[in-house]
Chains A and B, each alone.
Chain A
Amino acid sequence: MSAPVPLTHITRARNGRPAKRRAQFTVNGEPVDVLFAPHKTLLEVLREDLNLTGTKHGCELGECGACAVLVDGEPVLACLVLGLDAEGRDVTTVEGMADGPALHPIQEAFAQYGAAQCGYCTPSFMLTAQVLLEKNPSPSRDEIREALSSSICRCTGYVKIYEAVELAAARMRGEEADILEEAIYGR
């Protein structure tokens, strides 16, 4: 009698490729247990194996920043991390930002300011901003600029993104804040 086949080897290799491997980690607070080819990036595992397509890709080479997710609370580019490296980690994607039916204040502010034009880079900016605001509840415009410099947005010129982050920061500090007239109507 042979020993029981380890779970990580139950799928056969095809075309001489390595067999699927198993990883267990949490995504947006929920445990996941997933099998995938070992060379798959976290980006691919999230989008293709977990059907969490809110995480986007613009280059898959670590250049555009669109695929940023949080791993153990820090922003990382999901296209540069292997899915297997997520083992035992805590991954947060844009799908995990809202609190049940309620938008996260950053999401609400992005919506109100039209900071999501095409919306493709938006998840990466919001998640990065979330980390910034956790560490620095009252960032200056320059601190926001610096923190968000890892992602490219081709639509907004970043202005509405800064304004949305500032609005969300004020609300998260418990202040009653609303969109600025001059940001909406011009001067």
Chain B
Amino acid sequence: MGVSNGTPKDNGANGHGQTTEPVGRHPRGEGERSDSAVVGKPFVKVDSRSKVLGTMKFADDLTLPRMLHAKLLRSTEAHARIVSIDTTRAEALEGVYAVLTGRSMPITYGILPVSQDEHALCVDRVRYIGDPVAAVAAVDEETAEAACRAIDVVYERLTAIDSVKTALETPEPRIHDYGEEGNIHKRVDLEFGNVDEALASSHHVREDLFFYEGNTHLPLEQHASLAEWHPDGKVTLWSSTQTPHYVHRALAKVLELPPSRVRVVAIPNGGGFGGKSDIFNHEIVVAKLAMVTGRPVKICLTREEVFYCHRGRHPVLMRFRTGVDERGRILGMHSQTYIDGGAYGSYGVASTFYTGALQTVTYHVDRYKFDSVRCFTNKPPCGPKRGHGTPQPRFGLEVQIDKIAADLGLDPIEVRKQNLVEPHSMTANWLRVGSMGLGPCIDKVVEGSDWYSKFRKLPYGRGVGLACGSYLSGAGLPIYWNDMPHSGVQIKLDRSGGVAVFCGATDIGQGSDSVLAFIVADVLGIDPVDIRVVCGDTDLTPVDLGSYSSRVTLMMGNAAIEAAERARAPLAEAVSKKLSIPRSRLVFGGNRVFDAENPETGVTFAEAVQFAETSIGTIGSTGSYKPPRAPGRYKGAGVGPSPAYSYSAAVAEVDVDPETGLVAVERIWIAHDIGRSINPTLVMGQVEGSVYMGLGEALMEAMEYRGNRGVVHKFPSMLEYKSPTTMEMCDVVTYLIEDPDPNGPYGAKEVGQGPLLPIMPAVANAVFDAVGVRVDEVPISAEKVLKAILAKAEGKDGRYGPAKTPAVEWHEPHRVPPPWEGGDGRAIDDPKHMPVPLADPSGHRYKHDMSGD
């Protein structure tokens, strides 16, 4: 067993364990609380009933009196100078109220402070087909569309860059005049211990290339926004956004308004998956149009435009060079990623680091080197999609481990279990791992899938494959570096017994509003129905950074516990006085506050509030959360740290038709280490949804380009961008492992993204088991499988995948000794570097001592 700490004990029929000692941030204080009444129970989501009634309002469902409709004119050129824009004809149309071009909003913005490279409307340059160049507000959508068609734009075409290779070979013209040299946006070179030395002393070294095609989120809801201008100088934007806080910042910046006069309301998203985490052109444009016209302005993107907005999975070419000992234990790994960023920065700098950050948190890597390059290309900008930068390297790593096991004649399960990262340890790149339930996850899916009676034993055409993964429970650092909380929660208690909870988090379908209500209800001992949740409104709610990086349950959850504990205190004080019972004996539960030793003595929750209001006045409280400081001190150490890491393992069983190469995934067994389920129904839904999205990426989803030098989207439609329907979706068998993490609320970790990670490599490994060929690419389409089968039949290498990487002039890496080689987490070329041994070496058990076993 790779995991000894916090492994759940079996707790009855459902295997849904509980630890004896509470781990994680638990409500403390008044009295002994019995088991959680809400947390861990399948309460119905707070918004479920409005969703099934069809009464839930999404952004495009909103209307205001005198509302105008906006449309964007988008570039038909991939890379061009704007010579002139003539809006005269458009302005003359009846029903047109305003036409805007880029000159009206010259200030740039972007989600990251280091990539403020976007204009709301292009000023003098377009960078991809679909880049917005003008906007119209009109009486209805048709008039706005007609007006867009009446805008005359003259472009002067520039060389368009369609790939990383072309970008590296074509330093001029530069798509942006910032970043590294030429068309390189970002380059990373980091080394943790001498990897060449580790590889030289390895028993076996494998080098493999992989390619992961880009794909997109495809939320069912098209992005929509509504803006209203108030004559007192304030603007309000209602938008389908995952990140109202950052939209708030950008609106204030571009519109040159004091942030206090900008209000952003995040409307529940009809699916996000990372696709609504950027600041979008249309969000700024409708706000500006509302200011210009003095009327509310709404926009809803067409599906085609949603494809152009993109911000989805980066296409990544990868090289993995990994050295192991004779038992398959990893001694050194060199990971290289070549990233196609598309036309703008977006989250790209973070994405770049993420392609190298989490290789080390599943399997112990003794020495680790990571190089990466992200290039600008003239295609829709890539950004964060579920798993953000980590599914690509996870695919390569998990497939390579299977190849290594095959080379050495070892069991791929055993190889993985040999390498498991220790719980409560540090990785080579200075990430602090807390609870780590991957071992039990592997055991569950191996047992559940009857692995050992299938692996290498099924008839030709059928196979099984296993892979693992790990993900952050929230980024350890905020996008704008500061020491303020990442999440804030405010609670108002009413003498009626009703409770209102305010938080800046945004429900994108993952159930964050519900998690907030469940946690507060649990701490206050009341029914979640009696809680009113107000979320994602920059005027009304304390800041939460947004629904990205799987951060909400952990960060908002901890803030909610703190706020609820603080709200409970004055109630306990008042009840204690009133009933002459010591505070330590008071229990909050069942909508009552009562004496633990004498449960019939007590008051209702509403009465408790009334006593407290009588004694101290209006009752309110706040709570906040900031992640612990990460130990790494090197440049780039900001990406990767998290308060807690979730773990997943999956087995896929496939049926491959050797005549056509078609892969049918019949069933996936998945186990996920959730830490602790705040609500098991929601957790199961996230696991199943992640499996689904991973399956789509594994088999079919691809953002592909054609014609016009590879920069024209091949099929910006839902019919041709293939995604799994009910007929392609496999059966899913889910196991939840509860290995509570000390940093999680009630021990909870993330579930929204992690379970996607093992799916693609598990399918690839299963295809190999089925037909003996390797598709080292995602998606694993029939065409690729067939090519590999045919190649093998001709006596060639039974493989489909990239053969080479483009030439990059890598820099000398920043060398950071791993914790077990001393140092203080700084690079040795950092003037502040202190080559002192690690203060607390017990954090890491030096597992791979070459002199040992």
Q: Of all chain A residues, which has the CB nearest B507?
A: A118
Binds A, one of B265-273, B388-396, B463-471, B807-815: B265-273
Q: Helix, strand, loop or mixed for chain B's interface?
A: loop
Contact partners of B723 in chain A: CB under 8 A: 152, 154
Q: Of all chain A residues, which has the CB nearest B444?
A: A187
Within 8 Å of chain A (Cβ to Cβ): is B718? yes
The residue that A145 contacts in the complex, of B95, B718, B727, with Cβ under 8 A, is B727
The residue that B58 contacts in the complex, of A15, A56, A179, A182, with Cβ under 8 A, is A56
Within 8 Å of chain A (Cβ to Cβ): is B238? no
Q: Which residues in chain A, 120-156, are within 8 Å of chain B measured between CB atoms? A: 120-123, 126, 144-146, 148-149, 152-156
The residue that B303 contacts in the complex, of A60, A119, A181, with Cβ under 8 A, is A60
Determine if B271 and A149 form an interchain contact, defined as CB atoms under 8 angstroms apart.
no
Determine if B219 and A63 form an interchain contact, defined as CB atoms under 8 angstroms apart.
no
Determine if B684 and A54 form an interchain contact, defined as CB atoms under 8 angstroms apart.
no
Contact partners of A156 in chain B: CB under 8 A: 685, 688-689, 692
Give per-residue flags for A59-86: 1 if the beta carbon is below 8 A from chain B beta carbons, else 0: 1110110100000000000000000000
Within 8 Å of chain A (Cβ to Cβ): is B693? yes
Contact partners of B15 in chain A: CB under 8 A: 185-187
The residue that B734 contacts in the complex, of A121, A126, A187, with Cβ under 8 A, is A187
Determine if B718 and A152 form an interchain contact, defined as CB atoms under 8 angstroms apart.
yes
Determine if B271 and A120 form an interchain contact, defined as CB atoms under 8 angstroms apart.
yes
A142 to B330, CA, bound (A): 44
Contact partners of B727 in chain A: CB under 8 A: 145-146, 149
Determine if B95 and A117 form an interchain contact, defined as CB atoms under 8 angstroms apart.
no
- Contacts A66-B220, A111-B49, A145-B727 given: A155-B685 contact, CB under 8 Å? yes
Q: Of all chain B residues, which has the CB nearest A145?
A: B726
Determine if A185 and B718 form an interchain contact, defined as CB atoms under 8 angstroms apart.
no
A141 to chain B, nearest CB (A): 9
Determine if B732 and A157 form an interchain contact, defined as CB atoms under 8 angstroms apart.
yes
Q: Helix, strand, loop or mixed for chain A's interface?
A: loop
- Contacts A148-B726, A157-B732, A187-B735 given: A119-B219 contact, CB under 8 Å? no
Determine if A116 and B221 form an interchain contact, defined as CB atoms under 8 angstroms apart.
no
A142 to chain B, nearest CB (A): 10
Within 8 Å of chain B (Cβ to Cβ): is A103? yes
Contact partners of A112 in chain B: CB under 8 A: 42, 44, 48, 681
Contact partners of A114 in chain B: CB under 8 A: 44-45, 48, 511, 681-682, 684-685
Contact partners of A60 in chain B: CB under 8 A: 302-303
The residue that B270 contacts in the complex, of A63, A103, A120, with Cβ under 8 A, is A120
A186 to B52, CA, bound (A): 24
Contact partners of B272 in chain A: CB under 8 A: 118
Determine if A14 and B44 form an interchain contact, defined as CB atoms under 8 angstroms apart.
no
Contact partners of B413 in chain A: CB under 8 A: none
Contact partners of A10 in chain B: CB under 8 A: none
A50 to B452, CA, bound (A): 59
Within 8 Å of chain A (Cβ to Cβ): is B13? yes
Determine if B222 and A58 form an interchain contact, defined as CB atoms under 8 angstroms apart.
yes
Determine if A55 and B54 form an interchain contact, defined as CB atoms under 8 angstroms apart.
yes
- Contacts A111-B49, A159-B732, A186-B735 given: A54-B220 contact, CB under 8 Å? no
Listed A/B pairs (24) with beta-carbon separation below 8 Å? A15-B95, A53-B61, A54-B53, A63-B303, A95-B54, A97-B53, A108-B52, A118-B269, A119-B51, A119-B52, A146-B727, A148-B726, A152-B725, A154-B219, A154-B220, A154-B271, A156-B688, A156-B689, A157-B729, A181-B13, A185-B680, A186-B14, A186-B16, A187-B448
Known: A53-B58, A56-B220, A149-B726. 6 other contacts (CB 8 A): A58-B270, A61-B717, A95-B55, A116-B51, A158-B729, A185-B684
- Going nearest first, the 9 A-B pairs with the smallest beta carbon separation are A54-B54, A118-B509, A157-B692, A119-B51, A120-B270, A94-B54, A111-B48, A53-B61, A63-B718
List chain B positions with a Cβ less than 8 A from chain A. Answer: 13-16, 42, 44-45, 47-49, 51-58, 60-61, 93-95, 142-143, 146, 217-222, 268-273, 302-303, 448, 508-511, 677, 680-682, 684-685, 687-693, 695, 717-719, 723, 725-727, 729, 732-736
